[in-house]
Chain A
Amino acid sequence: MTYFQNAKTVLKSLFSRPSTLMYPAKPAKKMALSRGHVTIDPAKCIACRSCQRKCPAQAIVVDVKEKTWEIDRFRCVICASCIEACPTKCLAMDPQYPESTTARGGLYKVTVAGPKKKEPVAAVEGAAKPAEKKE
């Protein structure tokens, strides 16, 4: 049994570079799989509401009529289950944390492409004709 058992480690730390990261000066290191915040590609979203149904925290609200997709960043638990459920892969996970917001700024709302209209079979066959009419 000895005294100063930790002296070796202390001396080693004294002459080595610090283990800590100078955080605001240097950005925090993030892995490829890190879960920071959910992002959406509005052009791909078909407003199918799969993400809304799968969300355990009920943070996502999709309005099919208004064609909006809304996430409450304060409710979101960043579990990525919406990303797994998305059929068009329009949702993705950004490894960095979102910018800090106030209670009022927690909502993030975007207008999305919305559901595709089912075109009648006849219209598909003569697709060029209605376009000509419009012009």
Chain B
Amino acid sequence: MADEVKKKVVEPPGPGDAQLWRMGVEDERINWSRRQFFVKLGTASIAVAGLGTVVFAYQFLSPNVLYEPSLVVNAGKPQGYPPDSVTLDVANRIYIVHSTEGFYALDAVCTHLGCVTAWKPEQHIIACPCHGSKFNPDGTKIEGPAPKPLPWKRVWVSDEGNLMVDRGADVAVRQYVRV
């Protein structure tokens, strides 16, 4: 019974088969039985569905609307910050620094593992309470496990004359805002 069934040797299609098929040229190397064709079709369908599931899951798990506080912070009037001062805004996790060159804003979140740092005026440094990283007021690291300096954030003055900080935008260091 089984001996009577002649097995056809199937060779994988080479390059150029698609063009031949479009030209209507019959390629004798593609010689799939009906069963083989449906197995391939089924396997391909499952693969496509699996890929779709992965994309679907990734998109579903990524929220499109976030109910988080705005990344743009109104830091108030520049006159509120005395010269040569470093002010920590704990709620927004930024430092407003009024240096001799002008204003700038630093991210107060430690680049090591995300703790909020603190300004130590007596030592004139920014210190992280979690793992002991220390930074200069310009964000450069003095010591500790932090891999990167504290990034500078974009600062501008709004039409109402308020200092605005975009926590979502890093800028190159030494970009001071003069008021």
Asked if chains A and B come from one complex, the reply is: no
